[in-house]
Amino acid sequence: MAHYLLHINGASLHVAAPSDETLLSVLRNRLDLTGAKYGCGEGQCGACTVLIDGVPTRSCLIPVSAVGGAKIVTIEGLGQDGQLTPVQQAFVEEGALQCGYCTSGMVLRATALLRETPQPGHEQIVHAMDGNLCRCGTYPRIVAAVQLAARLQARAVPPEGARR
């Protein structure tokens, strides 16, 4: 066991874990952050997606030893004071889930997409989200939710120029 100081959702957490244990396992089994899901353990489904320094990352593939200095955001860290983020809000409004097991990974992947591309087109959304599986087949609503989130976000945040 080694000791790590992880920066997760704005908090600094000490955790003891073997160096090759995956971040997903540490989150779920040592820190009780169960929002990231196990779906395949092979980076094929995206259910375990977290943001590491803003980059959507498969937490089932990355060892805990590799994320010591990084800022990690899990689904539990989105939103503040009980407020949903535009992406979360859009998923609710579009009913973009069935069983909901893929949802946290989808929400985080979409969050990262909208940070890079605030107004993505249909093809950009499909391309960005294609690594995340939804076995219930809710894809059309998820695409609609990402589009709605883009609109909600544009309304919430004034354009760059207007802020000055």
Q: Which residues bind another protein (CB under 8 A)?
A: 17-18, 21, 25, 28-30, 32-42, 44-45, 47, 74-76, 78-79, 84, 88, 91-93, 95, 97-104, 107, 125-127, 129-143
CA-to-CA dists, residue 116 to 2, 69, 157, angstroms:
35, 22, 14
Q: Which residue number, 25 or 57, has a Cβ lying nearer to another protein?
A: 25
Least CB distance to another protein at residue 159 (A): 26
Tokens representing residue 81 in the block: 């004071």
Mind giving me the DSSP string for 116-158? H-SS--HHHHHHHHTTS--TT--HHHHHHHHHHHHHHHHHHS-
Strands 2-8 and 71-73: parallel
Q: Which residue number, 71 or 98, has a Cβ lying nearer to another protein?
A: 98
Q: Which residue has the tokens 């294609």?
A: 130
Q: Which residue number, 53 or 91, has a Cβ lying nearer to another protein?
A: 91
Identify the bridge partners of residue 57 per DSSP, sorted by sequence position. 50
Least CB distance to another protein at residue 24 (A): 10
Q: Which residue number, 27 or 159, has a Cβ lying nearer to another protein?
A: 27
Q: Which burial class, exposed, middle or buried, applies to 135 when counting CB atoms under 10 A from its CB (0-12, 13-18, 19+)?
A: exposed
Q: Which residue number, 35 or 56, has a Cβ lying nearer to another protein?
A: 35
Least CB distance to another protein at residue 21 (A): 5
Short-list 13, 137, 117, CA closest to 56:
117
Least CB distance to another protein at residue 31 (A): 11
Least CB distance to another protein at residue 118 (A): 20
